[in-house]
Structure 1
Amino acid sequence: MSTQNLLIRFDWAMKRLLRQKSNHAILEGFLSELLRDDIKIEQILESESNQDTGDDKFNRVDILALNARQELIIIEVQNSRQVDYFQRMLYGVSKATIEHLSVGEPYRNIKKVYSVNIVYFDLGQGQDYVYHGKTEFIGLHNGDTLSLSDRQKELFEKDALFRLFPEYYVLKINNFNNKAHDSLDEWIYYLKNNEIPQGASARGLKEVDAFLRVQALTDADRADYYRQMENRRLEVSLLDTARIEGRALGEKESKEEIALKMKHKGFDNKTIADLTGLSEGDVAHL
């Protein structure tokens, strides 16, 4: 692809461009294709919530959106291997759930949460590239599925019990074979290759092609984009090296080794903690 046609990576765009209301059509298109629904984004919320106590964790997510149905949608992109990423997904959903229910509100006001996770490493074991998780209650004796009563359907405006609970989507981008068979595949092709497949018709990709071109950035943003892409390549290289060296040093030592290397390269403590699994406190004391 020529420099003129080079498209911005989706994760960088989420942090810098897609929060703008004028670009919501891109996120709406992606989410509509993934969730098989007509998603309208009402608001992009703060994506880092406060700590309740000194030893609590921040709830850092790449984007936290509120749709027109007052449902929460978390979108996260993870480039580097994180062995406890499943628990991170759970934590993010749990934190978002409780933080958007005010004291004294009834439980029926708890917001539905969708957790969308775009990962560029081999998370878990599975050959597919799109996974969907939801909560269902199955009878141990009769095998039937617990459902809502008519009164509950009316009260909650939901047709099935699982729709009250969080739903998870995991996109294992590296498992995709670059053959786009449907509109969601066209999006995954872009997420993997930073290109749009020829003849693509997926909702939102026209806006991607129009607005997410590297050459359309300001000089400062373009320099920042290239710098962050280079940093990402460096992160991957450092992590791969640490994993190899860590076999002889032990797991904790390998994490500390890579943290020190990243500190020497100028990475901030938050980034180092996210990539190594160490706490920010441990990183700060190195």
Structure 2
Amino acid sequence: MTTTGIDARLDRIGTDGSYVIVPMDHGLTMGAVQGLKDIESTIDGVTSGGADAVLTQKGVAPRVHDNKNDQGYIVHLNGSTTIGPDESDKRMTGTVEEAVRVGADAVSFHINVGSDHEPDQITQLSEVTAAAERLGMPVLAMAYARGPGVDPEDPEALGHAVRLAEEVGADIVKTGYSGDAESFQHVVESTRLPVVIAGGSKGTDRQTIEMVRGVMDAGGAGVSMGRSIFQHENPEAIARAVAGVVHDDLSTEDALAEAGLAIEA
């Protein structure tokens, strides 16, 4: 159930109900990879380019605020590492109260629907949404279809994941992309929440922007793209191209051109 506080904070992390979010919590997951060593410059670049919000773990908050150009800030509340025993086993790394203390406008939580860890993550996400509602904080649920025998691009599985997020009280949901606008429409229609997509591994600029265009054509609300943006050789430019599609309804070609990015053959 939304409150005035939740609505006000959703406005801080989006623009007129659409969202360009750049998660940069990958330092916990992958270490100080390209784009995250000097995270201050990356944050400045992507928000200058049109990102509505950036997302990190709570400990990075002091490096965020002076560089986000008055855009939104989301604190992620669980995580795992690529070198640990099971990357799908996301563990709690923070609380809603801690996110409030470090100046967040929203919190996020990752759940792998279909994994062996789904039961615990459902419980934890439910606890996060309850705590967040008490404080008027929006919750971004990162609900992926991941687990034994689960196709992470299957629209039925993705639709189930986003519906789960709504059922347990999230305010916005991020999931994987099914590969095309037609199939992704089922995912969007599976919930009344705004649906944004993950970016995954970095592809070409055209592939990235075509994916964003497909999401918007399917009725999606935008993106929550990490590596495709923060590991780009020009994070500001690719953020501008993504924002051009999400916020200005540009075509792939126009978005690339206006951002000054070469249009690959």
Short-chain TM bin: 0.3 to 0.5
The structure with the largest alpha-carbon Rg is: 1
